[in-house]
Every structure is written in structure tokens, then in C-alpha cells.
Structure 1
Amino acid sequence: MAGIYIHIPYCKQACHYCDFHFSTYLRTKPDLVDAICKEIRLQKSYLSGEPIKTIYFGGGTPSLLSSYELEKILNTITENFSVSKNPEVTLEANPDDLSEENLYTFKSRGINRLSIGIQSFNDNFLHLFNRAHTSQMATKAVSKAKNVGFDNISVDLIFGVPNQTLQQFQKDLEKIIALDTQHISIYGLTIEENTTFGKWKKTNKIQPIDEEVAASQFELIMDVLASSGFHQYEISNFSKPGFESQHNSSYWKGEQYLGLGPGAHSFNGNSRQFNIRNNSKYIKAIDDGQIPCNVELLTNNQKLNEYILTKIRTAKGISLKEIKDRFNFDFAGNYTDKISLYKNQGLIELSEYLMLTREGKLVADSITENFIVD
């Protein structure tokens, strides 16, 4: 089974923390949708006939797509790929786009999972982020989606915001749990260099939150969501039973996927390719019948590192047997000292799988770096 990701690189306005590829110039959107449909046809052999079990509209802001544009892309996918009977079809959406009319349109076009970018319930922080919605709009958006009939809703929240106290974040958690959605994704704020926040950091307009405060917020996340019936199946992702994101889970399982649109990435098991991050150049190349991408053939060690980087973040962890069988690598034998150190520190557990403990999840990145194979 395989997945398809469609990158819609348009936003009404730029979030101050965002480092993804997007544009606020919406006039080229119809031409880009046409180009995506052409890329679908050009790429129809990329997944070697694997059935498509997930389709994911990401961005950018996919909820800016019109009914016609959404239908056109989905129809082109079904015309060129073998889509499974009941695929998971996710649309990322901003609360300010979720009118009842739009929600009915999304549902009628086959969207069966919404990922709503709430980010915060604190209007001061939403203003800092340069988000277009308010806390009240976010709450109403989820309520409207439920009334329309969506029963698989994910919401995003950000922690580790500059000057955010533990008490302020606890209020965010309480409000997001009260929404009673099936899935919650919670990400620590990273200040990237080429963003507004990155520029503000250089001039001391903002500074990253203290690491101990951010760690306390993350511990609070794990405690509160566990007591509310959510399973932490990946470090940043929590779900009610049976509502794990199938699409994102396929990434962590190393399954094939095709990325469409400017800035999208693809993986077919042996190579990765990366589409150009420029809307006009992407459109022109596709119109000329060319896919504007860089292709990277993966070595065995690169494939192994991809496995380690993704699997260690999941609840199940790294399978030592799978690493041996797939990559001919004795993980425990090569990392005896590091494994012993982390076990003694209470950061990992080891059986047939190597798993991060609760304490290990707080320093997951540094642990992972020490398990990368040269």
C-alpha cells in the first residue's frame, strides 16, 4: 500500500514561525492546480501500481481550494492510480476557512479526515504567530465540523512559545481536550532562521523559551492526554483508539509515497526526490512535460538511518530483528556502550525493541543523533 501527498503552497498570510514553502499570491492557484493534475499523470508509474490507501492535502493552506479544484485533483488521482476502497483522505484546514458551506463541500468531495491548525487558544499568542483566526473561531470550527458529520478530526497545538508559562499552556490543553476530537498533534516551537521569528531572534525581539519550561510543558502534555484517553503513538501525535493518522504512520513505517506540487517530497523505497520550491518554475516545467525535482539514490546506511530516525519516535520503537534482516546491521552489537548508558540513565528500554522511556522522549533528538550510522 502507498500514499499520496499533495502540497498546496498558498496561504492568506504568512505565519511568523513557518518555514514551509508557500506563497500569499493566490492568482496562480488555478494554474498550479492544473500543473498538479499534469504531474499526477506524469508520475502515474512512480509507485509501481501499489494501491493508494491514503491521500493527504497539506500546505500551505489546502482549505483555500475551491470545490472544483479539490474535485479535479481527486478525480485525476483516481483516474491514474488504483485507490483502495475506503482510503483515508485528509485535508489540512485553518479555522477561518471552515464555514458550514465549505465543510459540506469538503465532505461531499470525499474528505473524511480534517486536520485543523488551531495552534493556540491564547489570542495574544495567535496574534504573535500572525494567525488569521481567534480562539473563539477555532472552537466554533470544530463544532461546525462535527455538526456537518466529520467524525475523524485532528487538531494542532504548539507548545514552547516564548514567554508562555506552564499555567497558560495548561489552559490550552484543557480547551483542546474539551473539543473532544479523535486526534491531537502537539509540536514544540522551533525558531527557524529564514522566518519572521528567526529575524526577530537575531534582533532580540523574541528569544526561545527556557528548555526546562518547555520540558515541563511536554511532560504536562503526556500526563494530561494520557489521562484523557489519548495514546501517544508517536512523540508529537496522540490519538483515541483506532484514530491514528494512517498517512503519517506510513511515513514512520517506511512505506512508499508520492509527493505532488512544489516543495513536495517522494519516496519509493530506493530513492527520494524533492520538487522545486518555486511555484512559477514548477508550473513551467510541468507544462513542458518535465518533473522539476532532484533525485537522491539511497545507500543502505541512508535507508537504515531513515528507519532509525522515524521508528525511534514511535511507541513501538526500533525492531532489532528488522534492522538485522533488512539492513544486515547488528544494532545492539554496534551500540553496546551507548545502549548501556541510556538504559542506566532510564532513557530507553530494550527487549526485542529499543523504545524511548518517558524521560527519553524529552531528549529524543540527542539520543537519535547518537544512533546514526556513518
Structure 2
Amino acid sequence: MLEGLRKELESRASELASEEINTIYLGGGTPSILLIDELKDILQTIRQNYNVASDAEITMEANPDDLSQAILSALREVGFNRLSMGVQSFSESDLKLMNRRHGVMQAVQSVKWAKTAGFANISIDLIYGLPNQTLEEWERNVRIAVELDVQHISAYNLTYHEGTVFYDRLKKGILKELPDELSLQQFELLISILKDAGFEHYEISNFCKPGLYSQHNSSYWKSKKYLGIGPSAHSFDLVTRRWNVSSVSGYLDGVENNKPYSESEILTEQDRFNDYIITGLRTIWGISEELIQTEFSDIYLAHFQETRDRYLTSGHVIENSGIVGLSPVGLFISDQIMADFMIVE
């Protein structure tokens, strides 16, 4: 796999030959199981083939059970300056339900070790809306995260995707889905506590200390170019969307033998408009009427204006200097609002 990643990195360098690389993200899956030398080789390959900015944000996605003081110090030494930790919960029963390998103390200790190692930009993931999770239990989770003084928190409502263990348990009656009203209360509580703690709510599920946005994820939401390496990785060059095959063996066979291992599509105007709606509306940067007017046909501007006016009247969106974004109440029905702003034939 590592050799395959190296070969793809080398073969696709020309795609970003004139670009400065501002973010590098090793994630999706669990790259923290790799050896330090293997991670170092990946970063060296990138630096040798791409123009990496001196102040680039370089993030490592990791599980608490893969980390130690020595490993975290080594990660800093090889060049990682941001850490994204899959904590998920500060409740032992929740972690057991989600079949996580780490315990609460491991998660807390990993954050403290990361700080000692010199990480000044630490993000943790939390999940709410878990079966039987009370409002009080969720509040405890959030307050522990605040007390740990991390710079970034991503909090997601549990969703039951078909094919997952949680979905199967739900269908068998082993688990009972939390009522929507309680999940909504948990989301409201999250927003309130983090606001009081000085966090910016800059994307529906993401919060950060002032200015410490995830630069990498913000690039997706701002429709910037990105290059994805590895099985299932997606890339975007402003015109074309490309995705690699999900099969590990199919990916490696293609890379090794110069066979096709990806598919691509040229985005239509409708695709580009809908992508802009989905990515822009979910952030504090919102949607620009001027951009829609200059980048898209009149039919898209008319649809945008009609939908905007309707949601301005209902109070679900706000407008400031031609930028439209979700209002506090709009956050809670964001999926419906996005769907209405999109154009579907």
C-alpha cells in the first residue's frame, strides 16, 4: 500500500505543478497505525514532488489507543503540526457501545501528551444522539472537551447507515434510536456551551477557537482544488471530479501496472451550482449572490433569489452584504434548506 501511495503521488504531481500546497491531511481510516518512518517517507515523497508551503497545515488523524508520548513527539519531529483525534465520547459505556478500543482515560491522556509534545492545534471528534444518551451525559462530554482546552471540536449526530452494525442492531430492535427532539436539544446545548467557552461555530458540525479553522476541510467548503491519494480518494480541479476505486487490490494493481484505477466526470453547471450551495451554506462564509450572478446562468440566480426571499421571510436564513447564510434556527433544518436551494431536474 505504501509503495502504491508513493507511486500515485509521483505520477500525479503534474496536476498541481503550479500550485502551492497549503494543507496535507492523512486521514480516513487509521493512519496512526503506521510506523513513524513510514509516515516520514510519505511526507518526504510529498515534499519532493510538490511545492509545500513552509507554514502548511499538516494533519494526522489518529485514534487515542495508537498514541503515546514518544509517538506524539516523533509525529511533531517529522512535520505534523495538527492532530485530529477520534475520541467520540468521554463515556465508557458509549465507547463500549461503539466498539472503540480506547477508554476515557486513554483519550484524556492522549490529549495531554499531545500538548506536551508541542501540538498547539488539536481537534477531537464527538458523537451525540447515541441510543439512551441523556442530555446530562452529553453535557458532561462537552464540558470535558472544553476543560481539556483543545482548539477544535467536530461533533456529529449519529446516523444509521445501511450496512453498518448500528443499522443492523436498530432493525433487529437491539438498539432504539434517540428521539429527534432529544438530539436537537443536545445540538442546542453543544452550541451554547461552546459559544460560552469562546468557540466559533464556523460549520454546521465544526467549532474552533478564534481563527483556528480546519484549513484543510475549509478548502472543500470553499470549493478549492484538492488532490486525493489512495483507494476511494476523491480529487477536484474546479472542472472535473475524480475518484479512485475503493478496492485495495484493484487500486494497487492499477497503480503498479499503469491500469485505470479511477473514474472521473466533468461537472455540469447544475453540478457546480449544487456543490456551491451544499458547501457554502453550511459555513459562516455563506453563499454570495454576486458569485452566482457572475458564475451561473440567469435561471440559477432567479432560483437562488426566490428561495432566499422565502427563507428570509421565515427567518431561517440571514443576509449580510449580499452573503446568505443559515440563521440559528435554520441550522436545525439545514438539510431541508439546502435541498430547496439546489436545482434538481
Q: What TM-score, normalized to structure 1? A: 0.89
Shift of 1:334: 2.0
Counterpart check, 1:206 vs 2:175: yes
The match for 1:301 is: 270
Contact kept, 8 Å, 1:230 with 1:238, in 2: the verdict is: yes
Specify the code of the residue in structure 1 equivalent to 2:330.
G
SS in structure 2 opposite 1:260?
A: coil
Computed over aligned residues only, the root mean square deviation of the Cα atoms, in angstroms, reads 1.3
The match for 1:288 is: 257
The match for 1:13 is: none
Shift of 1:169: 0.3
- More displaced stretch, 324-333 vs 93-102: 324-333
SS in structure 1 opposite 2:274?
A: helix
SS in structure 2 opposite 1:254?
A: coil
- More displaced stretch, 100-109 vs 200-209: 200-209
Pick the aligned partner of 1:369 from 322, 339, 343: 339
The match for 1:270 is: 239
Specify the code of the residue in structure 1 equivalent to 2:210.
P
The match for 1:319 is: 288
Residue deviations 1:327-362 (CA, integer Å, cap 9, x gap): 234656324553333223221112401110111001
Pick the aligned partner of 1:242 from 211, 223, 245: 211
Instruction: Write out aligned runs for 1:100-249 (5 A).
Output: 100-249=69-218
SS in structure 1 opposite 2:195?
A: helix
Residue deviations 1:284-331 (CA, integer Å, cap 9, x gap): 111112351111110111011111100000012111111111223465
Contact kept, 8 Å, 1:234 with 1:313, in 2: the verdict is: yes
Check 1:57–1:167 CA distance in 2 against 1; reply closer, same or farther (3 A cut).
same
Specify the code of the residue in structure 2 equivalent to 1:355.
G
SS in structure 1 opposite 2:228?
A: strand
Specify the code of the residue in structure 2 equivalent to 1:215.
L
User: Matches of 2:16 and 2:157 in 1, distance apart?
Assistant: 33
Specify the code of the residue in structure 2 equivalent to 1:183.
H
Instruction: Write out aligned runs for 1:326-345 (5 A).
Output: 326-329=295-298, 333-345=302-314
Corresponding residue pairs, total: 343
User: Matches of 1:97 and 1:163 in 2, distance apart?
Assistant: 28
Structure 1's unaligned 5+ residue stretches are 1-31
Specify the code of the residue in structure 2 equivalent to 1:312.
L
Residue deviations 1:27-55 (CA, integer Å, cap 9, x gap): xxxxx011000000111122342111100
The match for 1:17 is: none
User: Matches of 2:177 and 2:22 in 1, distance apart?
Assistant: 39
The match for 1:353 is: 323
Contact kept, 8 Å, 1:275 with 1:291, in 2: the verdict is: no
Q: What TM-score, normalized to structure 2? A: 0.96
Residue deviations 1:85-104 (CA, integer Å, cap 9, x gap): 21100000111111011101
Shift of 1:265: 0.6
User: Matches of 1:253 and 1:192 in 2, distance apart?
Assistant: 27
Q: Which has the bigger relative contact order, CA under 8 A and spacing at least 6?
A: 1
Contact kept, 8 Å, 1:49 with 1:81, in 2: the verdict is: no
Contact kept, 8 Å, 1:47 with 1:268, in 2: the verdict is: no
User: Matches of 1:335 and 1:71 in 2, distance apart?
Assistant: 47
Contact kept, 8 Å, 2:303 with 2:341, in 1: the verdict is: no
